[in-house]
């Protein structure tokens, strides 16, 4: 979790604030990739794995477009 120090010196954990949108993104990606699969067991497993790593592909293609 990410921790921030407030003015009063207390620690604040920002984990759930960041985690919820990430969970929603994973669920949305999982639904998309499972719908694209043919429905076989291993195809669904592959779709769930793709849902985990799809941000890597997005970053890669953005860097390719930027020429980095």
Q: How far is CA 65 from the centre of its chain?
A: 21
Q: What is the C-alpha to C-alpha distance for residues 14 and 50, in angstroms, rounded to an integer?
A: 27
Domain coverage including residue 14: 3-66
Copy the structure tokens of residue 27.
Answer: 């669920």
pLDDT in tens, 5-28: 555 666 656 566 778 888 899 999
8 Å CB contact between 34 and 44: yes
CA atoms within 13 A on the CB side of 6: 6
Output phi, psi for 54, to 5 deg: -60, -35
pLDDT in tens, 27-58: 999 999 999 999 999 999 999 999 999 989 88
Total count of domains within the chain = 1
């Amino acid at each position: 979790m990410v921790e921030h120090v407030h003015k009063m010196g207390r620690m604040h954990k920002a984990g759930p604030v960041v985690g919820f949108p990430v969970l929603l993104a994973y669920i949305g990606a999982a639904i998309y990739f499972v719908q694209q699969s043919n429905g076989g067991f291993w195809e669904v497993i592959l779709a769930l794995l793709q849902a985990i790593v799809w941000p890597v592909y997005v970053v890669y293609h953005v860097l390719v477009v930027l020429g980095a």
